A and B are shown apart, each in its own frame.
Chain A
Amino acid sequence: SAVISQKPSRDICQRGTSLTIQCQVDSQVTMMFWYRQQPGQSLTLIATANQGSEATYESGFVIDKFPISRPNLTFSTLTVSNMSPEDSSIYLCSVLDGSSYNEQFFGPGTRLTVL
């Protein structure tokens, strides 16, 4: 299975600032995703990170707030822009492992607290 790392693992940020989260995979993958998990809640898909093109966002999420980059098949970033306390969540990246019948594997997550 793919090994996924995320940076930072956690951060505390001030309202109005932005944070960029990095996701690195140890192998080339076609599909990468970004999820948000608000406190005590389940996971909600933010967007699919497409290599070489704009990300595909789910309803309720917009590029201006959550810009995503995917420069190659092993790396992606998610930026949380103009943060407010409501953005305090765990942000997780995931990949589809096509060699494992489309099992979805997750990174360890980034715990964000916005003051």
Chain B
Amino acid sequence: SQQGEEDPQALSIQEGENATMNCSYKTSINNLQWYRQNSGRGLVHLILIRSNEREKHSGRLRVTLDTSKKSSSLLITASRAADTASYFCATADNYGQNFVFGPGTRLSVLP
């Protein structure tokens, strides 16, 4: 299976700082998606980046994808206390299915 691995497992920063989370995977993918989960609730879809894309932006979020290194990063700029959550990456196989989730990064933003 193409297990996604997130790094770091936990991250604690001050409000206003930037937070960077990384995701690595093992086999070729169609796309990679990032999600946020607050306190064991449902997952909120953040960004999808396709295998032929290198960077995408959405508000304070910036996602990069390096298919040669089989890795992706999620950058949250100017973090807020409300960004405190767990963040997961999920890869889709070449058919855009068979999603595999990484273990997640727990982000704590301190006021």
Binding site for B on A (CB under 8 A): 1, 31, 33, 37, 41-45, 90, 92, 94, 96, 100-109, 111
Contact = CB atoms under 8 A, between A and B. Distances in A.
Interface centre among B30, B44, B101, B103 (most CB of A within 10 A): B101
Main secondary structure of the interface of A (DSSP, over half): strand
Contacts of A45: 98-100
Contacts of A1: 45
B48 interface: yes
B33 A104 contact: yes
A90 B41 CA distance: 8
B35 to A, nearest CB: 8
A108 B39 CA distance: 12
A90 B43 CA distance: 11
Contact of A31 (B43, B97, B103, B104): B97
A108 B88 contact: no
Contact of A106 (B42, B50, B92): B42
Contacts of B101: 42-44
Interface centre among A43, A44, A100, A108 (most CB of B within 10 A): A43
Contacts of B97: 31, 96, 102
